[in-house]
Amino acid sequence: MSVRLAIDIGGTFTDATLIDEETGSVAIAKVLTTPADPSQGFMQAVERALAAGGVEAGEVTFVVHATTVATNAIIEGKIARSGFVTTEGFRDLLEIARQVRPTLYDTQFEKPPPLVPRDRAVGVVERLGPAGEVLTPLDDDSVRAAAALLRREEVESVAVCMLHSYVNPAHELRVGEILAEELPGVPVSLSAKVAPEFREYLRASTTVINAVIRPVVERYLGRIERRLEEAGIDAKLLVMQSSGGVFSAEAARGRPVFMVESGPAAGVIASAHLGETLGRPDILSFDMGGTTAKVGLIQDGRPSVTKDYNVGGHAGAGIGGMSLSGYPVRTPVVDLVEIGAGGGSIAWVDSGGLLRVGPQSAGADPGPVCYRRGGVEPTVTDANVVLGRLNPAYFLGGEIGLDIDGARKAIDERCATPLGISVIEAANGIVEIANAAMVNALHLISVKRGYDPRDFVLVGFGGAGPVHANALARDA
């Protein structure tokens, strides 16, 4: 028997799909994500999928996992304490970054702080020319001095980026050897291996991102693999890459920056496959979960892939659909526009008396008010319940009975009463505002790049996607 198992962990729900390749039967499971320990929800979904499919754990031959753990670590600031080693005189590289203003007339704009602060950035004596020629030989003692400083700073990970190492990696490789000797057990990320391309800041940023999430991802994947082993699943774990491919968990531990958009990329690849099956090669994929909405463009059956991407930014008309306010990543990423509009996005009235939706999200804990898990702020899901767009008796397969009265009360107190309108009007306004933001995202990836959305088929998925897809297809 050949059984394939796929698991996706989102901000609100965790999904598992099981396929028996011999019979073609499919079993699915959906559980609430467990933010404190995502591996717990992971295994709950796996166990339910196995039970639904009538399959024993030992029969599973293939396991692939898509996750947003790498991206979330950066967005939430839950990153490892890391150091940065570079050519002498360039320790301020991360501070200077790029002279880019994402919003030209925003006088309040502030660059995001470096992921590695200046006091843990250190230069070492060495210099290569642009052709890779050695201008100043590497001074091993200066590297050992840098290691001593980082040891005192108790770093968990180190990023190394020397000038022109993409041409000649010899100095970086030697620095990596010395750091491994001086800082045993501390993972070292070399730019020559992570992103061997020119432009030192982009290369440094990519390597630093790899370094700061590496211990986080190592611990995360370690827990997943242990739980799979304890459950009796012997198949090797594969992880979805942000480019749409997969790599082993071992490779993901060393280069986690390649999985920054692992979860969203899987949805785009699935949309492309569906389009191929239906004979519709031009697709706009629309993935609306509990926390965010992601849209991607597929032309002639091929998803668009970019290497100009920023993680931790805000949606805008910048490169790759994201504004330039985040941290640049120079690895292949399925081109997406991502906005903070999901089923759990919180509705609120601002100081000017305007109804707003997101980007804050109720997530899985406590979740929307209607989940009866302690949430008090109205969300898009609460609005959909009040409008009768969700069946309160059959949410999550009937496992969660939705609280219509609680959702109505929250919308009334937080939105309707402050605005002087009815609960139904407020709920409808919440949905329309969320839809408007998602239509704008669809236009960012289509109209503003010269594509006519009328030439594409919209594929809606995710927990909240199908509820909004028809309205988006009409308005986009």
User: At which residue do the structure tokens 């909240």 appear?
Assistant: 464
- pLDDT higher than 60, residue 369: yes
Section 366-395 average pLDDT: 92
pLDDT tens column, 245-301: 999 999 999 999 999 888 889 999 999 999 999 999 999 999 998 878 889 999 999
Measuring CA to CA, how many Å separate 303 from each of 117, 242, 279, 299? 36, 12, 15, 6
- pLDDT higher than 70, residue 323: no
Phi, psi of 307 (to 5 degrees): -115, 5
What residues contact 337, with CB distance under 8 A and at least 6 apart? Answer: 294, 295, 296, 315, 321, 322, 441, 442, 444, 445
- The pTM of this model reads 0.87
Q: What is the DSSP letter of 301?
A: T
Please answer whether residues 358 and 345 qualify as being in contact, where contact means their C-beta atoms are separated by less than 8 angstroms.
yes
pLDDT band (50, 70, 90) for residue 321: very low
Tokens of 44: 């709950």
Section 2-9 average pLDDT: 94
Please answer whether residues 7 and 188 qualify as being in contact, where contact means their C-beta atoms are separated by less than 8 angstroms.
no
Return the number of other C-beta atoms located less than 10 Å from residue 335's C-beta: 25
Please answer whether residues 67 and 263 qualify as being in contact, where contact means their C-beta atoms are separated by less than 8 angstroms.
yes
Query: Can you give the pLDDT at residue 324?
Result: 53
Which is the CATH superfamily of the domain at 3-73+217-262?
ATPase, nucleotide binding domain (3.30.420.40)
Please answer whether residues 43 and 57 qualify as being in contact, where contact means their C-beta atoms are separated by less than 8 angstroms.
no
Instruction: Round the average pLDDT of the chain to a whole number and report it.
Output: 91
- How many angstroms separate the CA atoms of 118 and 456, rounded? 47
Query: Can you give the pLDDT at residue 318?
Result: 33
- pLDDT higher than 90, residue 340: no
Please answer whether residues 46 and 16 qualify as being in contact, where contact means their C-beta atoms are separated by less than 8 angstroms.
yes
pLDDT band (50, 70, 90) for residue 322: very low
Query: Can you give the pLDDT at residue 317?
Result: 34
- How many angstroms separate the CA atoms of 305 and 320, rounded? 9
- pLDDT higher than 90, residue 110: no
pLDDT tens column, 33-90: 888 889 999 999 999 999 999 999 999 999 999 998 888 888 778 899 999 999 999 9
Return the number of other C-beta atoms located less than 10 Å from residue 51's C-beta: 12
Return the number of other C-beta atoms located less than 10 Å from residue 438's C-beta: 26
pLDDT band (50, 70, 90) for residue 7: very high
- pLDDT higher than 70, residue 214: yes
- How many angstroms separate the CA atoms of 380 and 293, rounded? 12
The secondary element (H helix, E strand) that includes residue 124 is strand 121-124
pLDDT band (50, 70, 90) for residue 315: very low
Please answer whether residues 471 and 458 qualify as being in contact, where contact means their C-beta atoms are separated by less than 8 angstroms.
no
- How many angstroms separate the CA atoms of 264 and 287, rounded? 8
User: At which residue do the structure tokens 């594969």 appear?
Assistant: 238
pLDDT tens column, 138-170: 999 999 999 999 999 999 999 999 999 999 999
Beta strands 302-303 and 293-299, pairing class: antiparallel
Domains 3-73+217-262 and 266-476 are alike in CATH topology: yes
- pLDDT higher than 60, residue 102: yes
Least confident range of 70-79, 192-201, 423-432: 70-79
3-state secondary structure at position 210: helix
Query: Can you give the pLDDT at residue 314?
Result: 52
User: At which residue do the structure tokens 């937080």 appear?
Assistant: 414
- How many angstroms separate the CA atoms of 260 and 244, rounded? 11
Q: What DSSP assignment string belongs to 339-364?
A: ES-STTEEEEE-TTS-EEEEEEE-TT
pLDDT tens column, 231-247: 999 999 999 999 999 99
User: At which residue do the structure tokens 């109505």 appear?
Assistant: 408
Query: Can you give the pLDDT at residue 319?
Result: 30
Query: Can you give the pLDDT at residue 104?
Result: 74
- How many angstroms separate the CA atoms of 379 and 395, rounded? 16
**CATH numeric code, 266-476:** 3.30.420
Burial class (CB in 10 A: 0-12, 13-18, 19+), 395: middle
What is the residue extent of each domain of the chain?
Answer: 3-73+217-262, 82-212, 266-476
Section 298-307 average pLDDT: 92
- How many angstroms separate the CA atoms of 400 and 38, rounded? 20
The residue type found at 219 is: R
Return the number of other C-beta atoms located less than 10 Å from residue 345's C-beta: 32
